[in-house]
Amino acid sequence: MAFIVEQEKKKIEWVPILEGVFIVAFFGVAVYYLFFSSSSLVEQVIFKQSDLERSVTELQSLGIKEAQDAVISNPIFKSSGLKLPDVGTGELGRENPFLGI
């Protein structure tokens, strides 16, 4: 009777290979978007002009005196007549705090 001896086949472990491919792909995509992309999402969000910035640029285009007049003559500014009374300081403490009681 003859014995046939074969070498044991090695199993390929797919999990470390897939992890390595995923890590390399992740860093490749990150490098592309950080350095080679034409416009990043951050720049689109940062350079989008808000309503407040538009109103500030409009006031700057009017000039300083005209901007002051525009703010002061605004009916919303005139209607905000809530005035708080002056807050008194009261008694702040002893005249010489180092003297005994």
* pLDDT per residue as tens, the chain (101 positions): 667 777 788 888 999 999 999 999 999 999 988 888 776 566 666 667 677 777 877 777 766 777 778 778 888 877 776 677 777 777 777 888 888 87
Q: Say if CB 67 and CB 59 are below 8 A apart.
A: yes
The span from the CA of 18 to the CA of 101, in Å, is: 78
The span from the CA of 99 to the CA of 34, in Å, is: 66
The span from the CA of 27 to the CA of 35, in Å, is: 12
* Size of the chain in residues: 101
